[in-house]
Amino acid sequence: MIEVPFGIGDGLSIGIGAQNRRILYYATIHGHPLVGGFIGRMPPGVAQAYETMPIVGNLLRLSSGQPAVDDEVAPAVPFRYLVLDTKAASPELIAYVHNALDLDLIDTDGDRELYGVQGE
């Protein structure tokens, strides 16, 4: 599961990308593992690992207000579900989500849209 805009961070840094920590609470309800998130202390190199992942790196860049870069074709997408916060996401992030991923709309609730992500 990934909620976009998304981010990563720890207790010692300002983090990268969106810093909405409510997604941790939501994970206790839906029970799916999260892409991104927050931990007490982030090991060195984790941010760079996220940034170099196809699809995920661009989602993180766009969640940080940076432009996307050309992606290599991802052999697999590391999430089965995507929640798009249309109120918090930039138009560029929304466009990237719809253009880069094969999505099936499952449900909407206010400003949030839940998609199933095809292609593993």
Q: In the predicted model, what is the mean pLDDT of residues 68-80?
A: 80
Q: In the predicted model, what is the mean pLDDT of residues 13-24?
A: 66
Q: In the predicted model, what is the mean pLDDT of residues 15-24?
A: 67
pLDDT band at 87 (very low <50, low <70, confident <90, very high): very high
DSSP code string of 51-91 = HHSTTHHHHHHHHTTPPP-PPPPPSS-S-SEEEEETTTS-H
pLDDT tens digits for range 25-67: 676 788 777 776 655 566 676 667 767 788 888 999 999 898 9
Range of lowest pLDDT (7-16, 24-33, 57-66, 81-90):
7-16
| pLDDT higher than 70, residue 13 | no
3-class secondary structure, 34 = coil
Closest CA to 103 of 78, 88, 83: 83
pLDDT tens digits for range 90-117: 999 999 999 999 999 999 999 999 999 9
Hey, where are the domains in the chain? 2-117
In whole angstroms, how far apart are CA 58 and each of 31, 40, 92?
25, 24, 11
pLDDT at residue 119 in the model: 67
